Structure 1
Amino acid sequence: MALRLPARSRELVVLTVAAYTECAFVDAQHEPLARSAGVDEPTLRLIRARDLDDPAIPLPNRALLRLTADVVQHPRVSDEVFGLARSFLSERELVEVLQVATYYYWSFARMATVLDVQVTRIYGNGEVLASRADGDGA
């Protein structure tokens, strides 16, 4: 069964996990996917700065980002954050957000930060592209 959570929303969740776990590897891997899914540069910057309440981010997206950040930061999500997310997401989408957030938190972000995985990106023809960690500003 396919996920109902739109690709853009999934990428917002993944990038928020990357920001709050300080995982450059996950960020580098998902930036192109996020851009392809419609995430713009200002939103990328706000997520990386952890400025999730900026009014430039539409309220439904802020609710999604705050839910994700709370999941990563705390053992329980506040009633306020959960209630706001619930006003924009179906029950199934809420479960999918939790699945994506916890999967990337435990399976990728923490593993990559603990093991200090080098940031590289491989796309298309197999060419290895430099990353921010290499100082190219990509």
Structure 2
Amino acid sequence: MWWLIAAVGLGIPLVVTAMPEFGMFAVGAVAGAVTAGLGGGTVLQVLVFVAVSVALIAVVRPIANRHRGQSPQLASGIDALKGKSATVLERVDGGVGGRIKLAGEVWSARALDAGQVYEPGQQVDVVEIEGATAVVI
């Protein structure tokens, strides 16, 4: 019974602080309760608690840290438009710029290279979005 109380007690800081280590200790406490339920002695219960908790921390924590540092795989908003192809509607150059059709919408655009000119009907690639203007190559 004490192991289950300890598991609940360790689950509370897990929810409040969002620190996964508390959850791993809570699982260790449940493993200790299972050991007690199967008739294991106090020393065996503590050893199972420690072994399960340390094993979870040693295995799960590095995996969680590795995934925490990754950026999302799904780009949205203007980030999703970078690298897309567009069709030139009005002449696009590096100075005044022009218009392109990008993802079904008409955007103002300018060429990345100031000396480059793109004529209507040409396909261009979006390098970046600056405000409401697409920079194309």
Structures share fold, TM-score greater than 0.5:
no
- TM (norm. structure 2) is 0.25
Structure showing greater Rg: 2
Higher relative contact order (CA 8 A, sep 6+): 1
Structure number with the higher helix fraction is 1
